[in-house]
Each structure stands twice: as structure tokens, then as C-alpha cells.
Structure 1
Amino acid sequence: MKAILMTAAGAPNVLQLADVNEPTIQSPTEILVRLRAAGINPIDTKLRSRGTFQPDRLPSILGCDGAGIVEAIGADVTKFKVGDAVYFCNGGLGSHQGNYAELTTIDEKFAAHKPQSLSFEEAAAAPLVLLTAWEALYDRGRLDASASAHVLIHAGAGGVGHVAIQLAKLRGAKVATTIGSEAKARFVRGVGADLAIAYKQTDFVEAAIAWTNGEGVSLAFDTVGGKLIEQTFPAVQVYGDIITILEPPADISWKVARTRNLRFSFELMLTPMLLGRVDLQVHQSNILTECAQLFDSGKLKIHVSEVFQLADATKAHQLLETGSITGKLVLTI
């Protein structure tokens, strides 16, 4: 089969199109999927540049997100049949083959039926960002429909951000988000944001405080990292929540967060895969099943900015690393 191999850690040109052996079903609960599309995420570019979690297994196939058609099933598979369309976040970290390929295998417990209303490219763009936003807001942030929350989401036009806006609105929250251009302001308003803060011209803390009548937001969700984590502390109300998907810098000052008694949480949706926690991977597939219903009922949408051919994975990585993407990038296979 055709696949994109990461031959070494380095620049995007370490990604090479190659012929490799087709994967085969190794356990009775696995399914073989003919991939139709693979999502591209920042974790892919980070692993490519610094090395996978299993560096001794190079060359490696990247790509956590996938969508395709079930081509064969193990003897004990009950959830899917041949011909079913599926989507999932699995593999691509170095231990199990990723989805920049024509075929892959996955345990049936970790896959979900593809939303009928989405193309394969849209479906492949969705899993990682859906799970990240869902876990951050609903699990870590305990966002409740009865709370009338005010939520600040950084980089709302990004892959995680634009999904997080929608999930927050589904729980009845008022949503503010930071954006870098008028085009992105229009985009985030289109997915439900109540307030678009042009952070290059406006102090987002002052804007958030004014928006909440001096209180601060009840929950802030950081998808950018760096010093922005610390800069966000004063925008959060006393006893509020702040959640980040990035590691805080070593020189961060926690004084404001401590004084305001903020609850700080990390969100890493890769944890179940990294730790081999089957129970948590099953939980994530259940989230994808619930999200499929939201897509098909028109309550949720995913924005694909650009679709690349499999052979153009290098170009896709180069574009993603510019940091200015609206929504998601996808490989079509």
C-alpha cells in the first residue's frame, strides 16, 4: 500500500511517499479500515520535528485522525460490519501505525460510526479536536447547561477553538474568543461566538472583564500556550477554571492564579493512548458516537480549510506550521 513514512526526525521533507506492507488483523476484535482521509494536527508536526514516542521504530507512519471504510473484521467483532464507514483517533504516536496511509487496523472498541452528514475529509478532521474540546470543557471544566457560564476560548478560529465554541454554546454558555483578523472574527461569529476579541488591538483581559461586568469569565480555555497562560489568569473570575492543552513555561508566575483561587487543569486527549488505558479509549469512542449525532442533527460542524493529496503531506505540514490556519487541514487518500 501507499503510505507517508517519517524517515527521521526533522523538517517536513523527512515525510516520504513509499510502498509498505499492508497491515493485517492481529486480534479477533480488530477491524481493517481502508482509509479515505486523514486529519492533520499539530501533534503530527511536533512528532515529526522532535521524534515519535517510540523513536526506535522509525520509519513511522504519522496521523492520529482517520476516516474510512471497514474492509475486513476479526472473528469477534460485533460493532461493525464490512462496508461500514468509521472515524476515529488512534495510532500515529510511534507504537501503532498512523493514518497517513491507505489501510490501517484498529480495535473496534476505539472506532465510531462516521457521521452520515460529513464527507470522509470532514470526518477525518474531527476526532482529535472534538475529543480535546469535549474533555476540556465538559470533563475538566465541568461546563454545565444550568450554570449560565461565560467562557473565554483562545484562538477560536483554530481547529480545537472552533469546535470548542460550538460545544460551549451547546451547554448554554456565552462565548468570547480571541482572533487575529477580521476574517477570523466573521468565522467565529458564524460558529456561535458572542464576542470576538481582536487581541492585536485590544487587551483581551480588559475586554473579558468588561464583558462580564467586572467579574471575569467562569472558564478560560487556552489552546495557544506560552506566556498567554499566565496572562489569562486575571481574566478569570475568583474561584473560576482555566484549562490548557499546552505545558506551562518554567518561568510562569502562579501568584494571580493562587490569589484568585483558580482551578487549573490540563487537557491531553492522547493520554488514553499513551498510557494504554482501554477504558478511557472506549470513553473517547463513545464521545465520538455522541458527536456524530450532533453533526447529523445540524448542531455541530467542522471546518476544513484545505485538502491535500496523500503525496503532498510535506506541503500540508509546511502550511500547518505557519500557525495561521482556520479550522483543519486534511489528507485525502
Structure 2
Amino acid sequence: MKAMQLNAYGADSVFEAAEIETPALKAGHVLVKIAASSVNTVDTMIRNMGEELPLSPATPAILGMDFAGTVEAVGAGVTDYAVGDEVYGCAGGLADLPGTLAEYIVADSQLIAHKAKNLSMREAAALPLVGITAYEGLQRAQIAAGQKVLVHGGSGGVGHIAIQLANHWGAEVYSTGGGDAQTALIEQLGATAINYKTETVADYVAKHTDGAGFDLVFDSVGGANLLNSFEAAALNGQIATTVTLCELDLSAAHFKGLSLHVVFMLIPMLHNHKRDQHGAILRALTEIAEAGALKPVLDATKFTLEQAGEAHARLESGKAMGKVVIEN
């Protein structure tokens, strides 16, 4: 099969076209012909940092985690999928799991689900990593109907899904963005937009919560922005975040009695730990999408498999609006 490989890591690394053996089918797995895959920030981190990240695969490496495609063969013990099924998932591109920048992937059947009928292959490929992350974070933070929910970074990959899911579960959703295009997308997705460049945390907490704070804060920006989340949260509020590779003063969280939920969705893939939970979340996302409540936003720029390097550059440029997708 055709694949785009990395033979070395680093800022100057390049993807090179290669003809390699189609992966062998294994028990509990399915062979999927990939129609599309999406690029996530973690993919660019692996390409740039290589061995500095403990989750990077050995070179020559096939990166890419998200995909959508069609089942071509079913391994022993798999009962939920048949040849010809359209599926999607996040199942490779790290550690010892070959990725999606190729014609085929052998995916653990616990890490996939049937694709929503009303989503294209490109849209479905954009959903797994960010969808699982947003779903897990909101559920662990005990989202409930009627809550006031703040999403930091609502125009980003994870954030724009979190807005839609929070709306689906009946919350009153607000979201921060840093420009006209970002706030316009946030409003389009059904949240009240907050421009963090022109409004202070104290300003928008007073304006939207009468100073009480938000019941739940989903922080897809993380790092130092967590301090803004602590400030924005209500007493005994819930905070979910995807970025905590930092040192912070937790005093504000202490005095408010906040609960902090750290989401690292790669754990099931890395450690073969409760992988069936990812399949269950993906099935739920399919149902929500088919109900018309969830639709990934795609960047307007299109890329072929051979343009994997350009797709990475597009994401790293910060100019993409929506998920960057590669089509086979």
C-alpha cells in the first residue's frame, strides 16, 4: 500500500511517499480502507518533538490518528462490523500503532464506530479525537441541563465540538474567542461569544452570571489560561481541561472548592486501557450527529495524502478555521 512516512523527526522533517506492506489483519481488529484522515495538534507535536515525547512511534513512522473509511476485512472475534461498513475512529499514529497517513489501517474494533449517515467521510474523519475529548471532559465534569457552561477556545478543534455537545445536553453555553472570525463561528455554533481580548474575566462573569461564576468551565486552551478558568468558575464549580503540562498556583481553586478534571484521551490507545469506552463514545457521537446536533467544522483548504506535509503546515500556521482534513 501507499503511505506517507517520516524517516526522521524534527522541525525540518518531511513526509516521504513509500510503498509498504498492507498491515496484516489481527483478531479483534478490522482492516479499513481509509477515505480521509484529520490532523490534530498532537500529530504535529510528534513530528516536531519525536523521542522527546514518550508516545512517538519509532521511525520510519506513519503518523495520523483520526480516520474514516470502509471495512475491507474483519478479524476473528469481531461481531459488530462487516465488510462494506463505513466506520470512523482514532486508532493509530502513536507508540506501536501505525497511523492513518496510508491507504489502509488495521484498527482495534473497540476504538471505532459506524459513521454517521449524514456526515461525509471528511467530516467523520475530523471528529474522533476532538469529539471523544469534548465528550469525556463534559461528562466527567457532570454537565447537566440548565447549567451555565463556559468553553474557552470555542472556535478550535475540541472547543467547537464542546459547544455543540453542551448545547445538546441542555446547557446555556458561552465561549471565548480572540477575533471577529472566531466569535462569529462561536455564535453560529449556538453559544454566546466572548472576545477575551476586549473583555476581562471579571467583566464577562459579571455580565453573564451576575458575578456568581459559571457552573462548568471547559478549558481547551489550558496552561496559564487555567487561572482564568478558576476566576470564571462558580463556587464548587467544575473545570475540565485538555492542557495541564504546566505549573500553577492552585490557591484560587482551593478557596472556591473547584473540581479539576484533566482529559488525556490517548490513554486507552497508549495503555490498552478501557478501549471499549472510546467505541461507546463514538457510537454516542454518531447518534448525536444523526440527530442533527453535531457537525464538525472543516477548514476550507483541501489536501491529498501526498500533501500531508502541507496539511501539517496549515494547522501549525494558525490560519485554519476548522479541522484540517486529508483525503486519500
Structure-2-length-normalised TM-score: 0.95
2:26–2:76 Cα contact (<8 Å) kept: no
- Listed as ranges, the gaps of 5+ residues in structure 2 are none
Specify the alignment match of 2:48 in structure 1: 49
The share of aligned pairs that are identical, in percent, is 38
Specify the alignment match of 2:120 in structure 1: 119
Specify the alignment match of 1:82 in structure 2: 83
Specify the alignment match of 1:231 in structure 2: 228
Pick aligned residue for 2:323 from 316, 320, 328: 328
Structure 1 pair 12–301 and aligned structure 2 pair: CA distance change class (3 A): farther
Shift of 1:54: 5.6
1:104 maps to a residue whose letter is I
Q: How does 1:143-222 map to 2 (within 5 A)?
A: 143-145=143-145, 148-193=146-191, 195-222=192-219
SS of match in other structure, 1:227: helix
Shift of 1:12: 5.8
Q: Is the aligned partner of 1:35 residue 2:34?
A: yes
Deviates more, 1:8-17 or 1:65-74: 8-17
Q: Please report the RMSD computed on the Cα atoms of aligned residues, expressed in angstroms.
A: 1.5
Q: Is the aligned partner of 1:100 residue 2:97?
A: no
- Partners of 1:56 and 1:234 in 2: CA distance: 39
How many residues align structurally? 325
Specify the alignment match of 2:141 in structure 1: 141
- Partners of 2:42 and 2:246 in 1: CA distance: 18
Q: Is the aligned partner of 1:293 residue 2:284?
A: no
2:99–2:105 Cα contact (<8 Å) kept: yes
1:178–1:204 Cα contact (<8 Å) kept: no
Shift of 1:76: 2.9
- Partners of 2:133 and 2:55 in 1: CA distance: 23
- Partners of 1:56 and 1:43 in 2: CA distance: 13
Q: Is the aligned partner of 1:69 residue 2:70?
A: yes
- Partners of 1:303 and 1:56 in 2: CA distance: 29
1:97–1:104 Cα contact (<8 Å) kept: yes
Listed one character per residue, the Cα deviations across residues 88-141 of structure 1 (whole Å, up to 9, x for unaligned) are 111111311111110010122222111111111110000111100000001x21
Structure-1-length-normalised TM-score: 0.93
- Partners of 2:214 and 2:99 in 1: CA distance: 38
1:53–1:95 Cα contact (<8 Å) kept: no
SS of match in other structure, 1:57: coil
- Partners of 1:200 and 1:103 in 2: CA distance: 44
Specify the alignment match of 1:270 in structure 2: 266
- Partners of 1:98 and 1:26 in 2: CA distance: 16
2:65–2:100 Cα contact (<8 Å) kept: yes
1:38–1:331 Cα contact (<8 Å) kept: yes
SS of match in other structure, 2:302: strand
2:91–2:108 Cα contact (<8 Å) kept: no
Listed one character per residue, the Cα deviations across residues 281-333 of structure 1 (whole Å, up to 9, x for unaligned) are 11111111121121122121111113311111111111111234322011101
- Partners of 1:316 and 1:66 in 2: CA distance: 15
- Partners of 2:64 and 2:206 in 1: CA distance: 39
SS of match in other structure, 1:63: coil
Any runs of at least 4 consecutive aligned residues in structure 1 with deviations exceeding 4 A, and if so which? none
Structure 1 pair 60–261 and aligned structure 2 pair: CA distance change class (3 A): same
2:201–2:231 Cα contact (<8 Å) kept: no
- Partners of 1:32 and 1:57 in 2: CA distance: 22
Shift of 1:49: 1.0
Shift of 1:208: 2.5
Deviates more, 1:8-17 or 1:124-133: 8-17
- Partners of 1:204 and 1:304 in 2: CA distance: 29
Pick aligned residue for 2:254 from 242, 249, 258: 258
Pick aligned residue for 2:296 from 273, 298, 302: 302
Structure 1 pair 262–55 and aligned structure 2 pair: CA distance change class (3 A): closer
